[in-house]
A and B are shown apart, each in its own frame.
Chain A
Amino acid sequence: MVKSEGAIFSISWNACIRCGVCVAICPQDQLFTSPFDTIAVQTVCDIACMICEAICPVSAITHVMVEKSE
């Protein structure tokens, strides 16, 4: 079994202004969104490039790194 790191994102829903920039910049090929038009929050992101965090106009996105079994 190979283990690789990924990120699970959290959104500060109070800060989020529903601008959709995180989804627009996300390099995931498959749908990686939440029901509120942000990046997904309960799915491990194996790319973990963190550009969604960097581009958020109000810094509403944070993450924790997790080990993911493949």
Chain B
Amino acid sequence: MEQYDIVVIGSGPAGATTARFASAQGLKVLMLDKHQELGAPVQCSGAVSSHALEDNEVPISDEFVEEVIYGFQIYNEDGDSSRIDYRELKPDLYGAGPGKKALGYVVFRRRFDRYLMTLAEKAGSSIMLKAEAIGFEKQNGDAIVHIKYFNEDIHVRTKVIVGADGLQSQVGKWAGMKTHINFNELASCLQFVVDGIAADGLLEIITGHEWAPGGYAWVFPKGHGYAEIGLGVICSMTPHNAQWHLDHFIKNSFFKERFRNARILEVQGGGVPLSHPLKTQYADNLILVGDAARHVNPITGGGIHTALNAGKIAGNYLAEFIQSGKPATAENLSVQQDRWMAAMGKKMWELYEIKSGIFKTANIPSRNAALYKTMTEYFSPGSPFKKI
């Protein structure tokens, strides 16, 4: 039986980054993904900040960048807005000119995820696609992972399994971890990729219960003259589904004239956990990273930065851990979560408290005002949460 130091299940941003950092430090890494193509079907709008890529050593590449972002425009329910354009706020730093930089990007997830996988591969990870992990058993302190690879049943031995299998994570369930998300904390999201919408390098965020109860709507530039129009809703706050709300937003909002000639090129959907991170993200022979551990920003719903960062922390930690020769008990692996809490987790818990406070407000106009204010402050230059 083939033996690995770690087996990473799921090659998204969190898994591929864990694999890359672990391999770079000499671990023998196997990464599995059950899909035939990474990042598909697309379940994400693809917005990510420049510093998320820089901090986690992801080179910016034309292979995955769809659009360069320089700021935000936050709207309230009636269409009044705050424009937070870093080309105007910090013209020496941000812009398209020489020596200036981007604030962020909208990436094409299929190519972005594939690119991250190639980085892991170049660092030395072995990778198998069409490889679905179906369970594991413990044996002499190690884990034996059962894999369905095309039509073949195979087993590999490893010290630590990294569950990076996303929102629908099954890996945590194998170990009996409490991974369940509350109905009122999972945003049901739908977006259309459209043409015929003018956009100029800003992520537009539209708040208001009328358009997106429990979440927000967005218009993100997607490159090539395309844009993403989407929204996420909390279904306990509305009798309608996300599709109804998106249709309502497109036809009846203050953007109805702007959207009149939009033609739908793609339909995409996904779930975004607006919950707190899992309280326990480790078990014997197992840690969870990324969406599987609810490493998602509960205010913005952004999960790429948090996934990359969790992957870097996990990859570095596991290299140290495996080299220490300690047994892979839950207690020993809990250090991963301590490091993650110190680096990101504490701030994510703070954001969760802020978000919960907003959506517990029963009075809708007050709630709308609180969300608009929080979103505007969040993306402003003085925000204490800029690096999340």
Whether B354 is near chain A, meaning CB under 8 Å from some CB there, is no
| CB-based nearest B residue for A23 | B168
The complex places the Cα of A1 from the Cα of B269 at a distance, in Å, of 43
* Interface presence of B223 (CB below 8 A): no
Q: Is the CB of A21 within 8 A of B183?
A: no
Cβ of B212 to closest chain A Cβ, rounded Å: 12
Smallest CB-CB separation from A37: which chain B residue? Answer: B168
Please report the C-alpha to C-alpha distance between residue A46 and residue B342 in the assembled complex, in whole angstroms.
Answer: 41
Q: Could you tell me how many residues of chain B have their Cβ less than 8 Å away from some Cβ of chain A?
A: 24
A52 to chain B, nearest CB (A): 10
Q: Does A19 sit at the interface, judged by CB under 8 A? A: yes
Which of B167, B183, B267 is the one whose CB lies under 8 Å from A54? B183
User: Which residues in window 14-64 of A have CB below 8 A to B?
Assistant: 17-21, 23-25, 27, 29-31, 33, 37, 51, 54-59
Known: A21-B271, A24-B167. A51 touches B190 (CB 8 A): no
Contact (A21, B243) CB under 8 Å given A27-B180, A31-B170, A57-B269: no
Q: Check B327 for interface membership: any CB of A closer than 8 A.
A: no
Q: Which residues of A contact B168 (CB under 8 A)?
A: 20, 23-24, 33, 37
Q: Which residues of A contact B270 (CB under 8 A)?
A: 19-21
Q: Are A19 and B43 in contact (CB under 8 A)?
A: yes
B183 touches A57 (CB 8 A): no
- B183 & A24 in contact (Cβ 8 Å cutoff): no
User: Is B181 located at the chain interface by the 8 A CB criterion?
Assistant: yes
Size class of the A contact interface (CB-based, 8 Å): 20 to 34
Q: Are B269 and A21 in contact (CB under 8 A)?
A: yes
Inter-chain contacts of B167 with A (CB < 8 A): 20-21, 24
Q: Establish whether residues B188 and A57, one from each chain, have CB atoms under 8 Å apart when the complex forms.
A: yes
Q: Which residues of B contact A33 (CB under 8 A)?
A: 168
User: B186: shortest Cβ distance to chain A, in Å?
Assistant: 5
Q: Which of B170, B173, B188, B268 contacts A21 (CB 8 A)?
A: B188
Asked if A20 contacts B243 (CB within 8 A), the reply is no
Complex partner residue of B241 from A18, A20, A25, A59, CB under 8 angstroms: A59
B189 at the interface (CB under 8 A from A): yes
- Give A31 to B148 CA distance when docked, in angstroms: 15
Q: A17-B190, A57-B189, A57-B190 are in contact. Are A24 and B271 (CB under 8 A)?
A: yes
A19 to B268, CA, bound (A): 8
Q: Quote the shortest CB–CB distance from B295 to chain A (angstroms).
A: 14
Q: Is B242 an interface residue (CB 8 A)?
A: yes
The smallest beta-carbon distance between B304 and chain A, in angstroms, is: 17
* Chain B residue with the shortest CB-CB distance to A58: B243
Return B280 CB to nearest CB of chain A, in Å.
16
Q: B270 → chain A, closest Cβ, in Å?
A: 5
B91 contacts the other chain (Cβ, under 8 Å)? no
Task: Indicate if the CB atoms of A25 and B271 lie closer than 8 Å.
Answer: yes
CA A20 – CA B183 in complex, angstroms?
A: 14
Closest-by-CB residue of A relative to B134 is A31
B123 at the A interface (CB under 8 A)? no
CA distance A56 to B241 in the complex (A): 7
Asked if B41 is at the interface of the complex by the 8 Å CB criterion, the answer is: yes
Q: Which residues from chain B contact A29 at a C-beta distance below 8 Å?
A: 173
B235 at the interface (CB under 8 A from A): yes
Contact A51 B271 (CB under 8 A): no
> A64: shortest Cβ distance to chain B, in Å?
20
B158 CB, min distance to chain A CBs, angstroms = 21
Chain A residues, Cβ within 8 Å of B268: 17, 19
Bits for B164-187, please: 1 = Cβ < 8 Å to A, else 0. Answer: 001110100100000011010010
Q: Shortest beta-carbon distance, B191 to chain A, in Å?
A: 10
Since A24-B167, A24-B181 are in contact, a sample of 18 more A-B pairs with Cβ atoms closer than 8 Å, ordered by chain A residue number, is A17-B267, A17-B268, A19-B43, A20-B43, A20-B166, A20-B167, A21-B167, A21-B188, A25-B271, A51-B235, A54-B235, A55-B188, A56-B241, A57-B189, A57-B242, A58-B242, A58-B243, A58-B269
